[in-house]
Amino acid sequence: MPDVLVIGGATEAMLARMSEKFTVHKWAEHDMDWLEENAEKITHVVTNGHDGVRPEIMAALPNLQMISCYGVGYDAIDTTEAVRRGIMVTHTPGVLNDEVATTAVMLVLACYRELLRDDAYVRSGEWEKKGSAPLTRSLENQTIGILGLGRIGQAIATKLAPWNPTTVYHSRTKKDVPYTYYDNLEAMAADSDILICITPGGAETRKIVNAEVLAALGPKGTLINVARGSVVDETALIDALQSGKLGWAGLDVFEQEPKVPQALRDLPNTVLLPHVGSATVETRTAMANLTVENLLQHLETGTVATPVPE
Whether residue 228 lies in the annotated active site: yes
Same domain, 15 and 142: no
Does residue 50 register a pLDDT over 90? no
Burial status of residue 210 (CB atoms within 10 A of its CB: 0-12, 13-18, 19 or more): middle
Q: Inform me whether the pLDDT recorded for 3 exceeds 90.
A: yes
Active site residue 284: no
State how far Cα 284 lies from the chain centre.
Answer: 14
Catalytic residue among 25, 170, 228, 298: 228
What total of structural domains would you count in the chain?
2
pLDDT digits 0-9 by tens, 287-305: 999 999 999 999 999 999 9
Residues 44 and 151 in one domain: no
pLDDT per residue as tens digits for the range 93-134? 999 999 999 999 999 999 999 999 999 999 999 999 999 999
> How far is Cα 208 from Cα 172, in angstroms, rounded to an integer?
12
In the prediction, which pLDDT does 39 show?
97
Instruction: Please check whether residues 124 and 17 belong to one and the same domain.
Output: no
Which residue among 81, 204, 257, 310 is the active-site one?
257
Identify the CATH number of the domain in which residue 218 sits: 3.40.50.720
Q: Which helix (H) or strand (E) holds 207?
A: none
Given a cut of 90, is residue 198 above it in pLDDT? yes
Residue 174 lies in a domain: yes
Backbone angles phi, psi at 147, to 5 degrees: -95, 100
Segment 6-13 shows an average pLDDT of 95
Same domain, 108 and 143: yes
* 275 noted as active-site residue: yes
Considering the domain architecture, whether residues 75 and 140 belong to the same structural domain is answered as no
Residue 209 has pLDDT above 90, yes or no: yes
Identify the bridge partners of residue 68 per DSSP, sorted by sequence position. 46, 90
pLDDT value of residue 6: 98
- Please indicate, yes or no, if residue 63 is contained in any of the structural domains: yes
Tell me if 261 is assigned to some domain: yes
In a domain, 84, yes or no: yes
CB contact at 8 A, 308 and 79: yes
Position 277 in a domain: no
Q: What is the DSSP letter of 256?
A: B
Assigned domain for 306 exists: no
The predicted-structure confidence for 143-156, as pLDDT tens digits, reads as follows 999 999 999 999 99
At 284 the pLDDT is 96
- Residues 85, 20 share a domain: yes
Q: What is the mean pLDDT of residues 77-97?
A: 96
Pair (78, 111) in one structural domain? no
Catalytic residue among 54, 85, 275, 284: 275
Going by pLDDT thresholds of 50, 70 and 90, the confidence category of residue 9 is confident
% of residues, the chain, pLDDT over 70: 100
Specify if 307 maps to a domain.
Answer: no
82 pLDDT band, cuts 50/70/90, is very high
Do 206 and 62 lie in one domain? The reply is: no
H/E stretch holding 288 reads helix 281-301
Q: Which amino acid type is present at position 221?
A: G
- Residue 37's domain comprises 3-95+282-301
One domain, residues 51 and 179: no
- On average, the pLDDT of the chain sits at 97
Is the domain of 52 the same as that of 65? yes
**Residue 218 forms part of a structural domain:** yes
Q: Model confidence at 248, in pLDDT bands (50, 70, 90)? A: very high
Same domain, 56 and 190: no
The residue-averaged pLDDT of 178-184 equals: 98
Do residues 128 and 247 share a domain? yes
Amino acid at 75: D
What's the one-letter identity of residue 167? T
Has residue 54 got a pLDDT over 90? yes
